[in-house]
A and B are shown apart, each in its own frame.
Chain A
Amino acid sequence: MMWQQLQSIAGSYPLALRGLGMTVMLSLISLVLGTLIGFGLGILRTGGNRLIGGVIGAWVDLIRGTPFLVQIFLIFFILPELGIELDALTAGIIALTNLAACFICEIVVAGIRSVPTGQVEAALASGLSRWQRMRQVVLPQAMRIVLPPLVGQYVLLIKDSSVVSAIGLTDLTRVGWLVVQRVPNGLLVFFLVGLGYFIVCYPLIMLARRLEQRMGAAHGEVQL
């Protein structure tokens, strides 16, 4: 019985690999896009324009205040009603990218605000343009605050990608769900699913911890 189940689970390894591939691909795409958009939003939000800052702030709050599952359903079921046809994969990428961008925006804003105003004033006095100030003075210093939670955010993103299984995308969690219908051993199947995520996420958690210690220690500060 146990042996049969093991064989059956082992036989699903192509499916499992496909699921893991889907999870990694989804996470990577939305991680890259979300980071770019998140940094853009964060810089815009601290840019001084009240209206733009307010709109971004309100959007970030809407996303932070609702469950990711509800956001996926909204995108997947409502965009088609507005005449935008999209498949589950596109909906998943849009939802995850948007989520990542909003959380990263908050992290970037906190980082930029942590840079002492004297630094900006000095850059201003040196005649640096706005873009030069941001790129050469503010962002390099902000990164110290930004980096540890950014890596932590990537872990959250990979874990949140499991929720896209709810709209039928065959990611790692969905594969577990499919396999457990044939092999009624939920403990073993979802232990293996969890192991798949653990292998991807745990190194990142360790990295975030290391960064936190390093960034804090380098500047003689207590932890964030």
Chain B
Amino acid sequence: MLENFSFRTIVEYLPLFGQGLVTTVWLSVLSFAGALAVGIVLAAMNLQRGRLFRIPAKAYIDAVRATPLLAQLYFLYFGLPRLGIILPELVVGILALSLNSGAYVAEIIRAGILSIPRGQVEAGVASGMTYVQRMRLVILPQAFKVTIPPLLGQAIVLVKDSALLSLIAVAELTRAGQLLASDRFMPAEGFITIAAFYLLLYYGLKGLAALSERRLGLAGART
């Protein structure tokens, strides 16, 4: 029964939870930056007319979307050493999250760019702009606006996904809960506390998404 739920133990372990939270936050930030980089490259490849770039990008995106992150994580974790690449668990985790989220980010960016009316592109062409100028001055600034809310949605998914890194022994938030569960046999205290921390991150990001929608005048335009 939960009548001997020990808040004292939670307080005692608070530094551990704090460390876990901090690790989860910064590894999520790094992974999201990685995902943006991967996503931008994939989206650019996917929007080319030539098949040479488009087909590999599409294949990558489909492969990532049709397989679980956990299998991808194990693929890198058990597979990279096979290629002679020995990396710390944390780096493998960040790599897996970036490569996974990158596929979703690519789709968000592509949808954003395709949402710009054709007339805008044609107007750019008519004004004598080059491809790069059209992208930089006309399309991207407008696409950027539409992509912010779904990108924040993807950030929420990424933070939650990062819990899987505990399964390859990365000392993040979920791992802290597992430690309390295994060292002290207090799974309730451990897992309820980390759930509360995750909710904190969730509501923070959700609030940010709502704010950005209002500020960018996109209310109701959510994809």
Contact = CB atoms under 8 A, between A and B. Distances in A.
Interface of A: 62, 64-71, 73-74, 77-78, 81-83, 155, 158-163, 165-166, 172-173, 176-177, 180, 184-187, 189-191, 193-194, 197-198, 201-202, 205, 224
Contact of B2 (A81, A158, A176): A81
Contact of A82 (B1, B162, B174, B194): B1
B77 A186 contact: yes
16 contacts: A66-B202, A67-B160, A67-B198, A70-B177, A73-B187, A77-B188, A166-B167, A173-B70, A176-B74, A184-B82, A189-B78, A194-B67, A197-B71, A198-B63, A201-B65, A205-B66
A183 B33 CA distance: 35
B131 interface: no
Contacts of B75: 186-187, 190-191, 193-194
A217 to B, nearest CB: 16
A73 B181 contact: yes
Contact of A202 (B62, B71, B160): B62
Interface string B69-81: 1111011011111
Contacts of B65: 155, 201, 205
Contact of B82 (A78, A81, A165, A187): A187
Contacts of A166: 167
Q: Which 6 A-B pairs have the closest CB atoms?
A: A186-B78, A65-B202, A67-B163, A77-B187, A186-B79, A190-B75
Contact of B66 (A71, A77, A173, A198): A198
B199 interface: yes
Contact of A70 (B69, B194, B206): B194
Given A73-B191, A197-B71, A155 B66 contact: yes
Contacts of A73: 177-178, 181, 187, 191
B67 A70 contact: no
Contacts of A69: 163-164, 166-167, 174
B160 A177 contact: no
Contact of A65 (B167, B194, B203): B203
Given A83-B1, A155-B65, 12 more contacts: A67-B163, A68-B160, A160-B68, A162-B69, A176-B74, A177-B74, A184-B78, A185-B82, A194-B63, A198-B63, A201-B67, A205-B65
A70 B2 contact: no
A223 to B, nearest CB: 8
A209 to B, nearest CB: 10
A63 B83 CA distance: 39
A70 B74 contact: no
A194 B198 contact: no
A172 B164 CA distance: 16
Given A77-B188, A78-B191, A186 B81 contact: yes
Given A62-B199, A186-B74, A159 B69 contact: yes
B66 A197 contact: yes
Contacts of B203: 65
A156 B82 CA distance: 30
Contacts of A74: 187, 191-192, 195
B174 A198 contact: no
A186 B96 CA distance: 14
Interface in B53-106: 62-63, 65-72, 74-75, 77-83
B174 to A, nearest CB: 6
A65 B198 CA distance: 7
Contacts of B74: 173, 176-177, 180, 186, 190, 193
Nearest to A222: B115
A180 B76 CA distance: 12
Given A64-B202, A201-B66, A194 B72 contact: yes
A176 B71 contact: yes
Given A69-B166, A69-B174, A70-B174, A162 B70 contact: yes
Contacts of A194: 63, 67, 71-72, 75
A176 B78 CA distance: 10
A78 B69 CA distance: 26
